[in-house]
Each structure stands twice: as structure tokens, then as C-alpha cells.
Amino acid sequence: METMTPHCGSWPEMAWPEAVEGPEPPPGKISGRGDTLSAKEFARISSFIHESSGIKLPPTKKLMVESRLRRRVRHTGFSCLEEYLGHAFGPEGKSELVHLVDAITTNRTEFFREPSHFDLLTGKVLPELLRGGQQPLKLWSAACSTGEEPYTLAMVLSEFAAEGGELRFEILASDLSTRVLQRARQAVYREEQAAAIPLRLRKKYLLRSSDPSLGLVQVSEQLRRRVAFRRLNLMEDELAAGERFHVIFCRNVLIYFAKEDQKKVMCRLHQYLVPGGFLFIGHSESMAGLGTPLSAYASAVYRRAGENGVPMERPIPRHN
Ligand SMILES: C[S@@+](CC[C@H](N)C(=O)[O-])C[C@H]1O[C@@H](n2cnc3c(N)ncnc32)[C@H](O)[C@@H]1O
């Protein structure tokens, strides 16, 4: 990392707020009475989380939920989970419920995660879209977590443009969690998190903190301006009428939803694709049995039919 572009002057003052979260506290009681969830409390949280986000929390997730909520208990200064839940679900608790959902979401992500998708994007998808003369290309990272996915897209598309000439693109990145969106906008990462980015791209698109002992990097302004962040709940929120995308990444979030909610979300995303547009899901996820109108294009990649519902060609065998 020592060969990385020197820092720019403006960001070293930036704090590193909740980014270094540390390990989750151990399961079990940590401060005595009221600090584990009764079956009734867990059922209430589970049904609230499901209604508000689509995330399903079977009883096997009880320890995880307790552990994640304890962080929130500490942060808000309540003495135990019981007291915290009394507040969150009480008459004054509406704004805290947003944080409660934030605390429960799983936000694991990384730069260049599932890298074959980015190869497919540059090797097949972008050339095909550009042959159709579709500019500017609009991409949406629909569960973007702390920003690594949309910034990877921005790097990959910027490189494609640098090598292949004219390419105009816009990236929308959204998530349910306000906490991760705040971090995504800051675009500050630990050097280890950036290690998955090829060195050449790190040199080109990352800035180092003026204080190297912090071990932090920030995505360059040039790249950050390519990504617009928005809070959106895939289960509820509508995008602006007429907003359509050539490529949607909705990876590693379906797995947290029940089957009927997966179908609902996929059918909704289908409507936000231009005819012939592409939808990427995580490799551990599946559309099998959901009955959506999308056709398989490649491994964990689906495609909307063309104009007038004409199926698009699928040049890549399904097992690729
Ligand atoms: C595991 S991360 C995946 C991040 C990235 N797409 C990737 O593959 O690396 C899942 C993200 O989905 C978000 N999420 C969960 N339910 C959601 C919903 N109903 N609407 C929007 N985002 C949601 C979570 O907040 C979390 O940041």
C-alpha cells in the first residue's frame, strides 16, 4: 500500500465512527436480569422485523439478535434489553425502531465480491448494452451495505470507459439501513478491506489518510461522485415513476427473505429493468421456483425480455 496515491488534504479530519465494530459480545446474560429475550419478546421482534424489512428471523437466530441488540442497548444508555425494548416499542420509540432494524441487518460485504460477475459485466453485458446504443447506462446496487459493491461497479465501469472510449453511466446505491448508508457515503475503509482491489486500481482510485498509523483509505472524489446513495426498503419503497435500469445488482439479501417475499422483490425489480436489462443475484441465492418473468442468462444472472416480451438470446450456458 506504500505506493498508493498520496492523501488529499480534505479528509484526514474525518472520524472513523462506528466502522470498527469489533466482535459481537458473547451470547448469554451480560448485565443480569432483563438482558436475555423471552420467547415472547423474541417473537415480537421477529414479527416486527419481518413486517418492516422482509428479513426472517427463525428461533435459531435468538442469540444473534440478543447480541446485536445489546450493542444498541449500550449505545443508547439503557440498562438492559428489557428496558430498551420497552422504550423502542413504546409511544416514544418510533425513531428508535429504525435503529433497531439497522442493528439486526447483516451487512457483510467486500470489494470485488463474487468477482466472476464483474468479468461477465465487462466481457459480455456492457458490450451488449452498448451495441444497443443505450447511454447513459444506469446501474443500481439495490442492497449496497457499506458501499463496497457500488464503488466496485464504479471502478469497473470507469476502467471500461478508459479502455474503450465513450461510456456514460450513473449508479444508484440503496439499502434499508441508515447506519451502513452513512458509512458508504463516507467511503472510508480499512486498508485490509481494500486489499481485494487490484493494486493498479487502488493506486488510481484510493486516497490514503495523512496519518498512516490509522491504516485507512478513502475512495476518491472522482469515483464517489458517480454513486448516488438513497435509503430504500426493497419490500416497500417505490422508486420514482419511470426510473429504469440497465443493470441491477441485488446480491446476498434474498437469502434473508421468505420465499414469497423473494418473489415479491424479484417481480418488483423486474419492473425496474429496461427491456433486455440484467439482474445479478448472489451465487448462493436462487430464483428457482419463484416463477418470475426473468430468464436465466448466466450463473446468478437473469435478464428481462426485450421489447414486446421477445426473449433475449442467452449466449452463455447456464452452468457458466
Ligand atoms: C449481506 S449485505 C449484501 C451487500 C452486497 N450486496 C454484497 O453482496 O456484498 C445485505 C444488505 O441488505 C440490506 N437489506 C436487508 N433487508 C433489506 C430490505 N428490505 N431493503 C433493502 N435492503 C435490505 C441489509 O441492510 C444489508 O446491508
CATH number at residue 94: 1.10.155.10
Among 77, 104, 131, where does a domain finish? Answer: 104
- 227 C-alpha vs ligand 1 centroid, how far in Å? 17
Clarify whether 190 is annotated catalytic: no
Whether 202 shows a pLDDT value over 50: the answer reads yes
At CA 166, angle to CA 124 and CA 203, rounded to 5? 80
Three-state secondary structure of the chain? CCCCCCCCCCCCCCCCCCCCCCCCCCCCCCCCCCCCCCHHHHHHHHHHHHHHHCECCCHHHHHHHHHHHHHHHHHHCCCCHHHHHHHHCCCCCHHHHHHHHHHHCCCCCCCCCCCHHHHHHHHHHHHHHHHCCCCCEEEEECCCCCCHHHHHHHHHHHHHHHHHCCCCEEEEEEECCHHHHHHHHHCEEEHHHHCCCCHHHHHHHEEECCCHHHCEEEECHHHHCCEEEEECCCCCCCCCCCCCEEEEECCCCHHHECHHHHHHHHHHHHHCEEEEEEEECCCCCCCCCCCCCCEEEECCEEECCCHHHCCCCCCCCCCC
> Do 84 and 131 lie in a common domain?
no
Among 88-97, 232-241, 245-254, 269-278, the range scoring the smallest mean pLDDT is 232-241
Percentage of the chain surpassing pLDDT 70? 85
Of the residues 104, 133, 161, which one is the last residue of a structural domain?
Answer: 104
Q: Is residue 184 part of a domain?
A: yes
pLDDT at 77: 95
Residue 4 forms part of a structural domain: no
Same domain, 88 and 122: no
* 120 shares its domain with 192: yes
The pairing of strands 169-175 and 301-303 is: unpaired
Residue 43 covered by a domain: yes
Instruction: Assess whether 229 and 274 both reside in one domain.
Output: yes
Q: Is residue 6 part of a domain?
A: no
* Residues 199 and 120 grouped into a single domain: yes
pLDDT digits (tens, 9 = 90+) for 23-33: 444 444 444 45
Instruction: Give me the CATH number covering residue 233.
Output: 3.40.50.150
pLDDT band at 18 (very low <50, low <70, confident <90, very high): very low
Ligand 1 center–CA 212 separation, angstroms: 31
Closest-lying ligand 1 atom to the alpha carbon of residue 146: 27
Q: Is the CB of 234 under 6 A from ligand 1?
A: yes
Counted domains in the chain: 2
- The verdict on 98 and 144 lying in the same domain is no
On whether both 79 and 130 belong to a single domain, the answer is no
Same domain, 83 and 134: no
- Domain range for 100 is 39-104
Q: For residue 314, is it within any domain? A: no
Do residue 64 and residue 156 come from a single domain? no
Which residue lies with its CA nearest to atom 6 of ligand 1? 251
Boundary residue ending a domain (104, 130, 156): 104
230 classed as catalytic:
no
